[in-house]
């Protein structure tokens, strides 16, 4: 055997003249079929028990899946019992079709017919393997023998189905040339056409031809070429529903399904979060939500993705990855500062412009569309920028910090994240904000204050401030006048060794915590001696008091020794 990569046989692309699929776009949802309870279940270390399968089934129904492959009833007693319970226990809604899988073998087909007794809507899905490799190494058969397996099974299924159909069962057929992706396309057409004929398919009674990528072996565009070729060559294309069943061995299952739809497929078999053999089946959540983000209604409801993920993880005992599209724990977070800033600006833009579209960079989808929280989008760690902490302060706690304050507070947070070496949560950010600004109460503290306000005949207001201040252990009185409370206070403290501070900027707003509303004031002072600037923040239920506290907070911060 050749060493390493040289031992692999490269995929031989299907030659196709005048391909059209690259010019197509997806405009509507395909027919969805869940294969979670069969393909997904058979790939579990501990297959689901009856209760788990029932719960899973009901979740799929709630999501809106109308065709659900429930298992392989001829494969084991457990699978048979589950099928019977679903039918006899009245679990299947009127508009939902159950699908059962069976190999193209007589005794298994007969057992499967027993299993579906009493069901209203059924798809009987049979398969045999058609690929060159399987024919060579597994079956040791020429194509005629392989075709005979399929057509004999089709004859038996057709014959056995007639009494059930006469009794009123809505019984349809599905055939899978298993390992379609490794089959010569002309032979795939030949065997599928033969099956359509043996099942008496018509444009009114279409048969589902499911063309599986049993093992993904080529690029999605090459698969799309094969599919377009197949659809064009199939004589009874109008009697078939073309279905895809991508597995994910090369990690391209989603692209294969999407390009397969461009190339003419009508239906997709998939599983939640891509559970299934080896690397899994294609993920139905990603496919559906990809459509959603292109303005197409996928006709599946993933608006409570956390609940679906919780059910999935519990029943399958398989974890959903933190970066799984749409569902992973980390997919609505932004660690990088520039991403955080852009998200912040995007959400401000959306508010201010009133746009009806989702226009936020780095968030391809509104997290609320899948029932996810908007708040934890930004996580603060040492890679976060200056805007991230301010964003948390605004969105989590209602503090709308002045823009020019963002770098200063950002640096406070950065120092902490550098020190702890990991992400910090919003509660810790609030704590840092309080320690840094609100609790900057030494050396100066306002103990008592009194305002006297008057307006003269020209409408100018005059305010007199009198108050008691503490400087470490010394208590003293101050008084000053001005055209407003801030001006009066500032003038009062000027003489108390604070004359070197000048007033640069001011902002205030209300913050509401439940029914309790407080005013918050942000004040920027500059120390004339060295030009350094300090923000201060004051909180109070009294709108006149918050700015005075903010002034003292700025002065007190200026007195802190740099650490
Ligand atoms: O992957 C596959 O080919 C299958 C078939 C049985 C449809 O699961
Ligand atoms: Zn499969």
Residue-wise DSSP of 299-338: S---TTHHHHHHHHHHHH--PPPTTSTTTSTTTT-B-SHH
Q: Calculate how far, in angstroms, residue 511's C-alpha sits from the geometric centre of ligand 2.
A: 56
Mean pLDDT estimate for the chain: 94
Torsion angle of C-alpha atoms 188, 189, 195, 196, degrees rounded to 10: 150
Tokens standing for 347? 């959400």
Is ligand 1 within 6 A of the CB of residue 247?
A: yes
Mean pLDDT of 105-114: 98
What is the atom index within ligand 1 of the atom nearest the CA of 176?
7
238 vs 296: CA distance, rounded Å: 25
Mean pLDDT of 500-504: 92
Q: Calculate how far, in angstroms, residue 298's C-alpha sits from the geometric centre of ligand 1.
A: 24
Does the pLDDT at position 15 exceed 60? Answer: yes
DSSP state string for 437-471: IIT--SSEEEEEEEEEEEE-TTS-EEEEEEEEEEE
464 vs 488: CA distance, rounded Å: 6
- Sheet arrangement for strand 461-471: 444-455, 461-471, 474-482
Does the pLDDT at position 376 exceed 80? Answer: no
Domain with CATH 3.30.160.270 in the chain: 444-559
113 vs 105: CA distance, rounded Å: 12
Mean pLDDT of 512-526: 86
Strands (E), 374-515: 444-455, 461-471, 474-482, 501-513
Does the pLDDT at position 512 exceed 90? Answer: no
What is the atom index within ligand 1 of the atom nearest the CA of 210?
7
Query: Among 393, 376, 386, 377, which residue's Cα sits nearest to residue 412?
Result: 386
Q: Spell out the residues 6+ positions from residue 492 whose beta carbon is closer than 8 angstroms to its own.
A: 465, 466, 467, 478, 479, 480
Domain with CATH 1.10.287.1400 in the chain: 337-438
Query: What digits encode the pLDDT tens for the residues 26-55?
Result: 999 999 999 999 999 999 999 999 999 999
Q: At 424, phi and psi to the nearest 5?
A: -115, 150
Query: What digits encode the pLDDT tens for the residues 141-180?
Result: 999 999 999 999 999 999 999 999 999 999 999 999 999 9
How much is the pLDDT for 156?
98
Tell me 367's DSSP state.
G
Domain with CATH 3.20.20.70 in the chain: 18-316
Mean pLDDT of 185-191: 98
The CATH code of the domain at 337-438 is 1.10.287.1400
12 vs 186: CA distance, rounded Å: 14
Q: Calculate how far, in angstroms, residue 246's C-alpha sits from the geometric centre of ligand 2.
A: 7
Does the pLDDT at position 394 exceed 60? Answer: yes
How is domain 444-559 classified at the architecture level of CATH? 2-Layer Sandwich (3.30)
How much is the pLDDT for 388?
80
How much is the pLDDT for 456?
85
Percent of the chain with pLDDT over 90: 85
What is the atom index within ligand 1 of the atom nearest the CA of 212?
3
Cβ neighbours of 369 (radius 10 Å)? 15
How much is the pLDDT for 183?
98
Query: Among 205, 143, 139, which residue's Cα sits nearest to residue 174?
Result: 205
Place of tokens 């309080």: 434
Instruction: Give Cα 296 to chain centroid, integer Å.
Output: 16
Is ligand 1 within 6 A of the CB of residue 32?
A: no
Pocket test for ligand 1, best of 246, 247, 267, 271 (most atoms within 8 A of CB): 247
Query: What digits encode the pLDDT tens for the residues 467-499?
Result: 999 998 899 999 999 999 999 999 999 877 788
Does the pLDDT at position 253 exceed 90? Answer: yes
- pLDDT band of residue 275 (cuts 50, 70, 90) is very high
Lowest-confidence region among 2-11, 372-381, 438-447: 372-381
Mean pLDDT of 73-88: 96
Length of the chain: 563
Is ligand 1 within 6 A of the CB of residue 178?
A: yes
Q: Which ligand is nearest to the CA of 210?
A: 1
- Considering only CA atoms, which residue is closest to atom 2 of ligand 1? 214
Burial label, 57 (beta-carbon count in 10 A; 0-12, 13-18, 19+): buried
Does the pLDDT at position 13 exceed 80? Answer: yes
Is ligand 1 within 6 A of the CB of residue 444?
A: no
Q: Calculate how far, in angstroms, residue 214's C-alpha sits from the geometric centre of ligand 1.
A: 6
How much is the pLDDT for 341?
83
Q: Which H/E stretch holds residue 69?
A: strand 67-71
Q: Calculate how far, in angstroms, residue 271's C-alpha sits from the geometric centre of ligand 1.
A: 13
- pLDDT band of residue 382 (cuts 50, 70, 90) is low
Q: Calculate how far, in angstroms, residue 169's C-alpha sits from the geometric centre of ligand 1.
A: 25
Tokens standing for 168? 């009123």
Tokens standing for 26? 């997806």
Is ligand 1 within 6 A of the CB of residue 176?
A: yes
Q: Calculate how far, in angstroms, residue 253's C-alpha sits from the geometric centre of ligand 2.
A: 12
Query: What digits encode the pLDDT tens for the residues 302-360?
Result: 999 999 999 999 999 999 999 999 999 889 988 777 887 888 899 999 999 999 999 99
CATH of 18-316, one of 3.20.20.70, 3.30.565.10, 3.30.499.10, 3.40.50.1100: 3.20.20.70
Is ligand 1 within 6 A of the CB of residue 212?
A: yes
């Amino acid at each position: 055997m050749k060493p390493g990569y040289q031992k692999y046989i490269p995929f031989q692309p299907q030659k196709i003249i005048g391909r059209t699929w690259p010019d197509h776009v997806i405009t509507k949802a395909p027919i969805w079929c869940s294969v979670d309870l069969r393909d997904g279940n058979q790939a579990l270390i501990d297959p689901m028990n009856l209760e788990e399968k029932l719960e899973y089934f009901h979740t799929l129904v709630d999501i809106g899946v109308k065709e659900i492959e429930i298992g392989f009833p001829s494969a084991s007693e457990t699978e048979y019992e589950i099928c019977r319970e679903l039918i006899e226990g009245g679990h299947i809604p009127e508009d939902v079709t159950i699908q059962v899988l069976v190999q193209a073998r007589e005794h298994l087909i007969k057992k499967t017919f027993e299993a579906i007794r009493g069901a209203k809507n059924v798809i009987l899905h049979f398969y045999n393997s058609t690929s060159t490799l399987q024919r060579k190494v597994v079956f040791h058969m020429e194509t005629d023998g392989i075709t005979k397996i399929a057509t004999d099974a089709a004859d038996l299924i057709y014959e056995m189905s007639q009494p059930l159909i006469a009794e009123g069962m809505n019984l349809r057929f599905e055939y899978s040339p298993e390992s379609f992706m490794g089959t010569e396309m002309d032979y795939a057409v030949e065997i599928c056409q033969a099956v359509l004929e043996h099942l008496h398919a018509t444009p009114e009674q279409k048969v589902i031809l499911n063309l599986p990528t049993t093992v993904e072996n080529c690029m999605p565009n090459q698969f799309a070429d094969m599919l377009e070729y197949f659809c064009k060559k199939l004589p009874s294309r109008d009697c078939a529903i073309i279905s895809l069943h991508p597995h994910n061995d090369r990690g391209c299952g989603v692209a294969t399904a999407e390009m397969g739809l461009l190339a003419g497929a009508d239906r997709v078999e998939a599983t939640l979060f891509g559970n299934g053999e080896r690397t899994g089946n294609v993920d139905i959540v990603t496919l559906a939500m990809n459509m959603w983000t292109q303005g197409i209604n996928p006709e599946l409801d993933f608006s409570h993705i956390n609940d679906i993920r919780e059910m999935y993880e519990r029943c399958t005992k398989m974890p959903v990855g933190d970066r799984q599209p749409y569902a992973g724990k980390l997919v609505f977070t932004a660690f990088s500062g520039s991403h955080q800033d852009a998200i912040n600006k995007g959400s401000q833009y959306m508010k201010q412009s009133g746009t009806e579209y989702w226009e936020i960079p780095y968030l391809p989808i509104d997290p609320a569309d899948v029932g996810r929280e908007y708040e934890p989008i930004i996580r603060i760690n040492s890679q976060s920028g200056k805007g991230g902490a301010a964003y948390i302060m605004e969105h989590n706690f209602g503090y709308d910090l002045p823009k020019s304050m963002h770098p200063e507070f950002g640096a406070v947070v950065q120092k902490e994240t550098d020190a702890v070496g990991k992400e910090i949560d919003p509660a810790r950010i609030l704590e840092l904000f309080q320690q840094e600004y609100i609790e900057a109460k030494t050396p100066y503290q306002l103990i008592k204050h009194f305002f006297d306000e008057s307006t003269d005949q020209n409408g100018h207001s005059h305010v007199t401030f009198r108050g008691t201040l503490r400087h470490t252990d010394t208590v003293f009185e101050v008084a000053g006048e001005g055209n407003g409370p801030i001006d009066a206070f500032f003038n009062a403290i000027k003489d108390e060794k604070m004359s070197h501070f000048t007033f640069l900027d001011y902002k205030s707003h209300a913050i509401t915590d439940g029914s309790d509303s407080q005013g918050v004031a942000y004040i920027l002072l500059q120390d004339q001696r060295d030009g350094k600037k300090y923000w201060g923040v004051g909180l109070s239920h009294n709108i006149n008091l918050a700015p005075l506290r903010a002034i003292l907070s700025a002065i007190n911060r200026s007195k802190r020794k740099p650490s």
